[in-house]
Amino acid sequence: MVLKVAARAKVPPFIVMDVMSQAAAREAAGERVLHLEVGQPGTGLPRGAAERLAALIETERLGYTVALGIPELRARISRHYREAHGADVPPERILVTTGSSAAFQLAFLGAFAAGDRVGLAAPGYPAYRHILKALGVEPVIFPVGADSRYQPTVPVLEAAGERLDGLIVASPSNPTGTVVPPDEMRALAAHCEREGIRLISDEIYHGIVYGEPAVSAAGLTETAIVINSFSKYYSMTGWRLGWLVAPPDMIRPLECLAQNMFISAPTLSQYAGLFAMDCEDELQANVARYAANRALLLEHLPAAGFDRLAPADGAFYLYADVSRQTNDSQDFCRRMLMETGVATTPGLDFDAEQGCRFVRFSFAGATEDMAEAAKRLKAWSAASGS
């Protein structure tokens, strides 16, 4: 007998995963593939943290922790908000999670009921809308472009006139890297408070910026849920560690959900994160490498035909309008991989409507890979007129 698969489980795949498997196949065939598709640092856990962790493994049992996370880490994150943002975020409002991905599940479950409507920008990180849909929450898509720095703004929301229960904002954003300026973030926070909209602020790329630091919603309003992660700035994707800052009245319900769904975030990772927060020099060296990679690509990509790029204020992405070359970015990325060995992500992952004419380059990898990719793409463009 064939039993049913729940309709809610039928969420679309990550297209980038398909690119990654095509890239792996070419590597298996002996080709050198340049990975500008994956959104993860080329580096691992900071050395300083790895050394302290090695000593800890000898002595600690590393059992479950309390669901909210180890007190030292919650206190350290609270200190981070004071030092980086001048914001008073008590440890009691901080919940340590299994990556920001688990924080989204907790936040959406805690804040929204089935049938609620949550606004989000397109282009944007695809998992937001896929998780919302799996939970029976309706994503309300706001198409955004260069005129609003690819971010939702209060005028964008007001012009659309949609009734919303929640709004997701990511600054710096994936895939565009654009940052919401402080005044606009304040305006968005005030608008959400006024209209009774639960603001979810995804701050996973905080710390990776090339101009002014991104402002945290945690310093602007107590009603927002603020989500962050150790994956990007702290270079710890595989450790699956993140956190959220919850409004005081939500922390207990979220704690109970976390107890039931996850018991606790991985204990070893919690200590790794705690130690990584003391490795500022190494982490800043990573950001300096991203800045060099970004400068290199901004210099060379235009000569390869990629001259219409979103202003990458932060994160490690360049989002290129390739409508002059193609209206099928998935096919374009596949051809680019086959003919140059440069793997990139089609915009369709981030924007179901307009993504067919965009490509995302990730510059999180090694600088020499960026230089080689730029060289190959220039030659490709010259040869094919792409």
Ligand X SMILES: Cc1ncc(COP(=O)(O)O)c(C=O)c1O
Closest distance between ligand X and the C-beta of residue 230, in Å? 7
Question: Site map for ligand X, 238-277, x if CB under 6 A?
Answer: ----x-----------------------------------
| Closest C-alpha to 239, from 264, 203, 267, 262 | 267
Cα 372 from Cα 360, distance rounded (Å): 17
Query: CB of residue 326 vs ligand X: minimum separation in angstroms?
Result: 24
Token pair, residue 179, equals 């940052």
Would you call 74 helix, strand, or coil by DSSP? Answer: helix
Least distance in angstroms from the C-beta of 124 to ligand X: 8
Binds ligand X by CB under 6 A, chosen from 65, 100, 201, 340: 100
- Got the DSSP string for 251-269? HHHHHHHHHHHTSSS-HHH
Nearest CB to ligand X, comparing residues 81 and 125: 125
# chain residues binding ligand X, by CB under 6 A = 13
Tokens of 386: 């792409």
Q: Is 118 in the site for ligand X (CB under 6 A)?
A: no
Residue 125 lies near ligand X (rule: CB under 6 A): yes
Q: Which is nearer to ligand X, 242 or 346 (CB)?
A: 242
Nearest to 227, CA basis, from 120, 360, 99, 127: 99
Q: Which stretch binds ligand X (CB under 6 A): 27-35, 93-101, 114-122, 371-379?
A: 93-101
Q: Which residues contact 375 (CB under 8 A, 6 or more apart)?
A: 300
Show the binding pattern over residues 23-42: x = contacts ligand X (CB under 6 A), - = does not. ----------------x---
Interface pick for ligand X out of 202, 203, 255, 369 (rule CB under 6 A): 202
Q: 362 has which bridge partners?
A: 317
99 binds ligand X (CB under 6 A): yes
Q: Is 366 left (phi over 0), alpha (psi -120 to 50) or beta?
A: beta
Residue 249 CB, shortest distance to ligand X, in Å, is 25
Taking alpha carbons only, the member of 262, 40, 261, 7 closest to residue 134 is 7
**Cα distance between residue 236 and residue 259, in whole Å:** 23
Nearest to 229 by CA among 219, 238, 221, 220: 238
Closer residue to ligand X in complex, CB, 218/374: 218
- 231 counts as binding ligand X under rule CB under 6 A: yes
Question: For residues 79 and 19, what is the distance between their CA atoms, to the nearest angstrom?
Answer: 40
Binding mask 144-183 for ligand X (x = CB under 6 A): --------------------------x---x---------
Enumerate binding residues for ligand X (CB under 6 A).
39, 99-101, 125, 170, 174, 202, 204, 229, 231, 237, 242
